Structure 1
Amino acid sequence: MNKKQILLIDDDHELAELLVDYLAQQGFIVQCCFDGQSGLELAYKSKFDLILLDVMMPKLNGFEVLKALGSEYKTPILMLTAKGDNNDKVRGLELGADDYLAKPFHHQELLARIHAILRRINIVTQQNQQALHGENSTLTVNNIELNHATRIVTCHTNPIMLTGTEYQILTILMEHHGQIIAKDTLSKQVLSRKLAPFDRSIDVHVSNIRRKFDPYCAIEKIKTVRGAGYLFLTGESS
């Protein structure tokens, strides 16, 4: 079994040394960059299974790296943010990060987040394989189509670029269209953790999906049900 490749972009040399040793013991191979510019260049040059991205760094900060990578970059990204800085967390998610973890963190919590993200990627891979064999290859509801074979999402035939996390959230909502899905359910199924108080991760991911739909959808697709969760509206199914 091939070891998973992780890119760590963080200017904290001491932390990087500790994480390289710890994650190696857990079966990962970690490459390090200590500024945003070199991290961005390596992210483009080599293929990784996951990127751990710090916010405050020289040359390019984490947000600038996210912007430069753009929405078409497929490797999942876990942001490392300052403890209690909710603005950094929200901004990172809005720019395409899959999840965040506040510093200082326990090494076991980091490992749990890594495994959760990789499980999501594995689920998408399984969906792709099933679709290639003609099993549930497409899902179409209210003029939104998911193609699991290509992981392409279209809105009124217009392609929409989603992150892996956004794709999984949309899949769950569409599979249960017409039903209210609780935020905690989405958090457990997609992020592999219970929804903590004041955790806006799911809200931000759903907001990102809506924003990407907006140029092509004249009517609402995902409705917020206050105090309950989210509802994908059935509309006209095809």
Structure 2
Amino acid sequence: MKYSIRANEIKGNEKQQGENASHLRGFATLIIGNDFKISNIAILESNEGKLFVSMPRYKSSDKDEKGENVYKDVCNPITKEFREELYDNILDAFEKAKCADKTEEVKSQEGTEMPSFSVSVTPFEREGSNIRGLARIYFEDCFIVNNVSILQGKEESLFVAMPSYRTKQVDENQKAVYQDVCYPVTKELREKLYGELISSYQEAKDKMETATQMQAQDKVVVNVVQPERETPFR
């Protein structure tokens, strides 16, 4: 799979907050093809002084044995081979950025082809929410993007929301501003990807509704009452 990586070092005066802040050494951005961007990839240093890669994560509703929320990857490699290749290249780009004292870019290979992908969508509704489905995107069977949402707008129209995080900024209405963690950066991929997600949602929803109707029909017991025969007059 064609991709490029941009990495930069976090300087001592660039204070960070949040989980793993004291171990944070840098950030990386992954661009799949020239079309899909993943930001907020963290480069951390362990207590033993070893660098490692942490993909963007979100706090799930699942709990661990201590009753604390479990964090899950927003996106990640799904094969051992690609994970090792990608993480090695991210750390390599980071080391080069440290030496050059600037953002460094590493490319896996040249090419302009749009990355191939597939999607899976599960209809999902929650009371009081405009979420209508949850989706995953698979790039070339080696990288997955989770936590993609299908939302319903005010005019009943459907749209796609990519995974995002809450920033410290607020808009003109003093509401929190959210920033996408990963998203298509070209019009061509955005239209193709979002169209496929909406289409897959509609198809999955239709199948679910059909299955529900068939189950309901199976439970209906039709009692056929036989008319009483008239007793012959004697």
* Same fold flag (TM > 0.5): no
More strand by share: 2
More helix by share: 1
Q: Shorter-chain TM-score category?
A: under 0.3
| Higher relative contact order (CA closer than 8 Å, sequence separation 6+) | 2
Give the greater-gyration-radius structure (CA).
2
TM-score (norm 2): 0.28
TM-score (norm 1): 0.27
